Structure 1
Amino acid sequence: MPKQNIHPNYNEIHVKCACGNDFTTRSTHRGDIHVEICSACHPFFTGKQKLIDTAGRVERFRRKYAKVEAAK
């Protein structure tokens, strides 16, 4: 027999970001949530993220494994 009333309530809440964006979602959390960063202002989601290849890591990786492939 399955247990009754073991799951928390799933409530509709409002999320407010520091950038001014606000949206509604559902959570087991009670009350509103205030966040510092959201998908509207996070660099990954806005396309403003900059990937920096410090010290040529990708090139160093390719050189390292080119030697392994040449040895085969």
Structure 2
Amino acid sequence: MPKVEIHPTWFDNATVFCDGKPLCTVGSTKKEVQVDIWLGNHPFYNTTSDIIDSEGRVERFMKKYGLNSRN
């Protein structure tokens, strides 16, 4: 038999907030969940920014392992 009264209280409709605005409801052990980043304001998922290789990581990797990037 499982032990009684060891699990936290489960809230089926916990509200998720970002910047003070409610986003959605989820199941959680907290009544309210605060998030800093979500799909709507993350630069990767919206069109406000481009993914660029500003530090030359790809070129550095290719040079380090002697690979030709044109293959």
TM-score, length of structure 2 as denominator length: 0.63
Q: How many residues align?
A: 66
Identity value in percent: 39
**Rg (Cα) greater in structure:** 1
Structure 1 residue 24, shift from structure 2 partner: 0.7
Deviation of residue 7 (structure 1)?
Answer: 0.9
Equivalent position amino acid for 2:52 in 1: I
Q: Give the strand-richer structure, 1 or 2.
A: 2
1:37 counterpart SS class = coil
User: 1:59 is matched by which residue type in structure 2?
Assistant: E
Stretches of structure 1 that go unaligned for 5 or more consecutive residues are: 68-72
Higher helix share: 1
Residue segments in structure 2 that go unaligned for 5+ positions in a row: none
In the alignment, is the contact (CA less than 8 A) between 1:21 and 1:40 conserved in 2?
no
With the length of structure 1 as denominator, give the TM-score of the two structures: 0.62
Q: Alignment RMSD, CA only?
A: 2.6
